[in-house]
Amino acid sequence: MANHKSALKRIRSSETKRLVNKYQHKTTRNAIKKLRELSDKSEAEKMFPSVVSMLDRLAKKNVIHANKAANLKSGLAKHVSAL
């Protein structure tokens, strides 16, 4: 167990951040799955910017790597344009 007040605070804050990151990452993954399942091009084009925004936010906060976000965005753009 931690011996210092600052270490105890670090444990509390890192746990809070972990839960927030986990929630946002899972939400983004679900949005990606929904976008991939869509077969209507107009709906997919409406949903695409919000999913890209979510990915950019995760990459900015280092929840996912920037290159992974770029790869996902590229694949989703290809999917939407192929519809």
pTM, to two decimals = 0.80
Domain membership flag for residue 63: yes
Q: Which residues of 50-70 are buried (b: 16+ CB within 10 A; e: fewer)?
A: ebbebbeebbeeebbeeeebe
Domain membership flag for residue 73: yes
Domain hosting residue 57, numbered range: 43-83
Residue 1 reports pLDDT greater than 80: no
Domain membership flag for residue 10: no
Asked if residues 24 and 63 have their Cβ atoms less than 8 Å apart, the reply is yes
Domain membership flag for residue 53: yes
- Lowest pLDDT segment from 36-40, 48-52, 60-64, 68-72: 36-40
Confidence of residue 3 (pLDDT cuts 50, 70, 90): confident
- The total number of structural domains in the chain stands at 1
Domain membership flag for residue 36: no
What tens digit of pLDDT does each residue of 31-40 get?
A: 999 999 988 8
